[in-house]
Structure 1
């Protein structure tokens, strides 16, 4: 039985309550999440500065040994450089730069000599464009003081965190949502399965749940199996043999403009699950924030139901 997807007369009021709940949380906790991330990022930047002699030794051997410092170096220039801008200015290998940026390593199949040539290009641009207003010791004979290095690291950390502010907030919100689901389930006698125990989603005992469980699906139109992560997987207490658990994705949004792409991703995930396991799959969303009626109508048309976080007891209507 549908829970919320077939009740458009309630959508407008639910959206208003969900927006209020998200904004209350954001004002209270988002700055804290951002600050704690910034503290750790500042420490990481200080480590990167030490590895490069406080930006006085950006050479291929240093970059080869510490490929993970590239994001810090990009944010150390004036102006800060996006990945593609760095590639364009340096004329460096896109594969090398992206491997360093995303995987914190050098390309496996690139020879050491070829890698050093590309790293020299990157180092040259970073050295040429290093921000003298932040790294005030560059160009002088006196070494950087601890206070100067910490101040510079804080500025670069702010730049790094600013570039990923939305993911920081979204991750903090997701953790809170999953904690809410856990509390609700455990209050009703459900037991959480330990992560990494190899339990398959369709072998979960009744009355159990798990977070971020991988579920294998066939790519739509093909036979290749890939794993897709599901935020919360719950096997109802009254489940019988061969019953599927309930799948829930934790979703939050801080504005109305960013939901179109995500609704397509959710529809694609639903299509993959159904093409692999049939119409018995129950894929739902656990929402908080800015989801307008257009978004809700799209999801309803795809057969995706949802629970509003401000009305979490609706979980019981799914048979839990």
Structure 2
């Protein structure tokens, strides 16, 4: 198990923010302890906007009232709701589209090695990324190719509930989903679009905390964790990189967001020699004389 890192000290809120330094520290510490994510001081405005609906539902007029309830510690569901609201769940269909073609290449290479490929989408939010992959591989399967196993995980139960429902607004659909795939894989009703059962069954969604949980059981050929590490402390990133190294096959690949890299962040991974923008495990000696990440995937249940 990876223990949560100590809460990181945060800078004062950005100029013009209505959030006090003490309140920013409180919410940032709660979020980091539960998920590893931090609230940067320049994003302190998000606290007001993210918690507005929750405070209205709870009949709270100020952030100070919310902080007081959290400090009492008697309302565990409230703390869970706050963490869910503060998580960054930005995602879209086929985000950074060229990456998806490269994932198909990586899966094809794994299949040539004689096994069914496995993909892990870590930090999947409301599910657009794994659903995008499912569309590509379902269409590929219609031409006779094997269907890889796609596991999608997130720390947020609320986000996962939406992902499992496969129901998206018109705005979410318009962000990256080609019209051909919309008509092929979705049913529309009342301004919303729902994924058809034939596609929904191709993705397994599971709650998983990258900071506190062991990696899922088995070994993966491709792990996608895009635009998640941006919000983690350096200490927490190291723990997450170790989780990924343990979960990947020796020839597996890690995919990060466009603004993320392993360079200068960890010795466990290096740029892939075959696919640009992907990362493979490094042969890094460990204190016991072994090779870092040399397991066949040591995940738990």
Give the TM-score normalised by the residue count of structure 2: 0.32
Q: Which entry has the higher C-alpha Rg, 1 or 2?
A: 1
Higher helix share: 1
Structure with larger RCO (C-alpha < 8 A, sep 6+): 1
